[in-house]
Amino acid sequence: MSEVIDLTAAERRMKGALEAVRREFGTIRTGRANPALLDRIEVELYGTRMPLKSVANISAPEPRLLSITPFDPNSIKEIERAIINSELGLNPQNDGKIIRLPIPELTEERRRELIRLARSMAEEGRVSVRNIRRDEMKDISELKKMGEISEDDERRAEEELQQLTNRYVKRIDAALEDKEAELLEV
């Protein structure tokens, strides 16, 4: 009657939560130019909102400079407006063909704000992992109630699930530590 509980779906979902946190961290501005910094920017073009990376080529030709080359040169003003209206605090400069985004040094105050933002993103990731654990615990409990698994199997599955949860929470914490170190780097 006993059945082995498969936690691969839970692990896949937890891995997705970890990757989402890492992607979010990529959008936090550090002192270095990184094209991922502009991932959340959307441009209003042709009556719809589109991701910046779908309307322009973004590169980092220098450590403190991003270069944006619009696919349609007529969209340069809309791209500039989207960058100015974003919370990144960057000032675009255009020559009619290319937008250059110099990445200024971060002030101590701005670094602290960005660390707070990173911590809240990490907390959202931890909550997401814990929600996955809760859903799986409920499923395991249902299997026990329906008599498909024994009490020992239930306990063993819950322990494995808790270990899996702890492992992914630690990975999120490690990613946060790396991001904080990157933000504090002068």
pLDDT in tens, 37-92: 888 889 998 889 999 889 999 998 888 889 999 998 888 999 999 988 887 778 89
pLDDT in tens, 102-120: 888 878 888 888 899 899 9
Protein fold of 32-102: Gyrase A; domain 2 (3.30.1360)
Contacts of 93 (CB under 8 A, 6+ apart): 99, 100, 101, 102
Q: What is the pLDDT of residue 7?
A: 86
What is the average pLDDT score of the chain?
88
* Averaged pLDDT for residues 171-181: 94
Task: Delimit the CATH 3.30.1360.40 region(s) of the chain.
Answer: 32-102
Q: Which residue has the higher pLDDT, 143 or 33?
A: 143
Please tell me the distance from the alpha carbon of residue 25 to that of residue 132, in angstroms, as a whole number: 21
Q: Which uninterrupted H or E stretch holds 50?
A: strand 48-51
Task: Delimit the CATH 1.10.132.20 region(s) of the chain.
Answer: 8-25+107-184
For a pLDDT cut of 70, what percent of the chain falls above it? 96
Instruction: Write out the two tokens for 72.
Output: 């349609």
* Averaged pLDDT for residues 11-34: 86
Q: What is the pLDDT of residue 39?
A: 84
Nearest to 11, CA basis, from 123, 116, 159, 168: 168
Helix axes 151-184, 108-145, angle to 10 degrees: 170
Instruction: Write out the two tokens for 100.
Output: 């250059």
Q: What is the DSSP letter of 106?
A: P
Contacts of 126 (CB under 8 A, 6+ apart): 169, 172
Protein fold of 8-25+107-184: Topoisomerase I; Chain A, domain 4 (1.10.132)
Please tell me the distance from the alpha carbon of residue 24 to that of residue 168, in angstroms, as a whole number: 16
